Amino acid sequence: MSMKSKRLINIAVVASTTFVSRILGLMRDVMNFSLFGTSVLNSAFIFAFTLPNMFRRLLGEGALTSAMIPLMSEALNSEGKNGVFLLLNKVLTRALMLLTGLVILGILGMQGVQLFSGLEERWYLGAHLAIILMPYMLLVCVAAIFAAALNTLERFAIASLSAVWLNLSMIVSTGVLAYFFGDTPIQQVHYLCGGVLIGGGLQALIPAVALIREGWRWQWDINTSHGLREIQRLFLPGLFGAAIYQVNTVVSRILAFSLNSGAVSILYLAGRLVELPLGVFAIAITTVLFPNISLMATRKETEKLKEAYLQAIRMILAITIPATIGLILLNESILNVLFQWGKFSKTDVLLTKPILTIFALGIPPCALSTFMIRGFHSLKDTRTPVYVSAISFITNFLISIILMHSCGTIGLAFANLASMFVQMALLHKFLGKKEPAYLAIKFTKSLCQIAISAIIMGLFLTTSSKIIKISFGSTKWIALWEITLLIPLASIIYWLALHQVKFLKGKKVEVLGKTHFGPPK
């Protein structure tokens, strides 16, 4: 099997497991909101779950694994699997010491919040649940370290299934234990927290077993090495960059939590819905095309670089713009079908609807920013994205403070949207200065072609949706038929319109062994 074919298979595996994880995550959220609605208890759980998740992304899935994989690859080339396992034990030893200390500090800090919360319900409950969930931080960070070692050994499937075990555990704990055995809401949310901890245990245990089968044996190792020192050197700059984004998320949720009891739940739910097109399609495009762009930048192949970069931008826009329009036009029906169950009422749907609309508008700039950051990485520049993220964070924070009291949750959502556009604009500007080939591309024509096709699709959705509602009413089952029927039809109409404006005709570009179409001559 050729390297290109193997790479395509690995990408397909990661993409498919990511899709499964997103669907299970959506099912998990449907069950949680059905059981708890937008109550103070659900907001307290989301707030508490944010804290260990922040450290997971900082220490586990973010800066630490990004620093580990290149050095583990070097160890694999020079010393084989034993070199990888030796470095893994050194990293794991230090991670366990650091994470244990952070868990203890986190628990003590949350106990302090309980003491000084003035017995205000949502802060007291948030701190209480955070104390229960804090050990998850240790489990999931260890799981991410194991995943880095497995990815180095090209065992991608086990590593990419990590979130699946968490989602399945939470689904069982909510849909079975909490529903049938939870006598009170607080007991039900305790079962949910138990599901998180069991899921974290599975996330750490399953990759550990896979590594043991590869020959790894755990050993406490506090000795240093060149590889470990290099990981520490690369880790700190990456940690600072990742911290800005995570702090931004936490600050937004703290502001929402201080606003009212339902704001965190509504913001979280809207964010989760827009993650599906972002996480599955936009990130997949970035993953596939990034290696080619990096190679062309290294070789100084300016024209090929421009073509590949334009192709990526066009593909991202071609997917995210219609996804945005569809999510906006069908937002009420989607929320009705997926979440209007149990304690998540019609009122909650109407409160979430404008927030989802604002968040949906952020899909294209967020996807483009993710790809542009990879553009900087292809030029071996990791500092500029950090500066831009800092500016984006300040923008989000200032606009949130200005608008949250007058506009409520909508003000927080608008602040998030504004910061995304600021980030995208600055990344585009600085990337063009760093590499003029990136700024030299012109995609106005492609954008107009995509916009025309998306408008045609939007007109079809609007007209069809009104006809269905006038003819059959607005019940949940009608909404189900509406999205089941209209989403596939709208997708077909969009791609037919796109083909008619000759968007897909042009110069052929080979990407990972497959022929795609580049910019028209």
- Candidates 93, 105, 82; CA nearest to 142 is 93
The listed range with the strongest mean pLDDT (176-180, 194-198, 283-287, 330-334) is 194-198
Per residue in 474-489, pLDDT tens? 788 888 888 889 999 9
Examine the pLDDT at 71 and tell me if it is beyond 80.
no
Q: Cα separation of 271 and 36, whole Å?
A: 18
Phi, psi of 161 (to 5 degrees): -85, 0
Examine the pLDDT at 454 and tell me if it is beyond 50.
yes
Please give the residue that has the higher pLDDT: either 334 or 117: 334
Q: How many CB atoms are located within 10 Å of the residue 350 CB? A: 11
Examine the pLDDT at 209 and tell me if it is beyond 80.
yes
Examine the pLDDT at 80 and tell me if it is beyond 80.
yes
- pLDDT at position 38 is 75
- pLDDT at position 157 is 77
- pLDDT at position 322 is 92
Confidence band for 159, pLDDT divided at 50, 70 and 90: confident
Examine the pLDDT at 46 and tell me if it is beyond 80.
yes
- Candidates 458, 499, 442, 441; CA nearest to 321 is 458
The CA-based angle 370-371-374, given to 5 degrees, is: 95
Distance of CA 127 to CAs 43, 49, 130, 252, 354, Å? 12, 10, 5, 17, 29
With a pLDDT cut of 90, the percent of the chain lying above it is 24
Give mean pLDDT, residues 242-260: 71
- pLDDT at position 268 is 81
Confidence band for 510, pLDDT divided at 50, 70 and 90: very low
- pLDDT at position 166 is 92
Q: What proportions of the chain, in percent to the nearest 5, are helix, strand and coil? A: 85, 0, 15
Confidence band for 512, pLDDT divided at 50, 70 and 90: very low
Mean pLDDT of the chain: 80
Examine the pLDDT at 43 and tell me if it is beyond 60.
yes
Give mean pLDDT, residues 218-233: 79
> Is 405 exposed, middle or buried (CB count within 10 Å of its CB: 0-12, 13-18, 19+)?
exposed
Per residue in 362-387, pLDDT tens? 999 988 887 887 777 667 676 788 78
Phi, psi of 224 (to 5 degrees): -100, 170
Give mean pLDDT, residues 206-233: 85
Q: Cα separation of 48 and 33, whole Å?
A: 16
Per residue in 254-309, pLDDT tens? 788 777 767 878 888 888 888 777 766 666 666 556 556 656 666 677 777 777 77
Q: How many CB atoms are located within 10 Å of the residue 249 CB? A: 17
Orientation angle between helical segments 40-55 and 226-259, nearest 10 degrees:
160
The listed range with the strongest mean pLDDT (14-23, 143-152, 432-441) is 143-152
Phi, psi of 2 (to 5 degrees): -70, 160
b/e 307-338 (16+ beta carbons within 10 angstroms → b): bbbbbbbbbbbbbbbbbbbbbbbbbbbbbbbb
Per residue in 180-193, pLDDT tens? 888 888 999 999 99
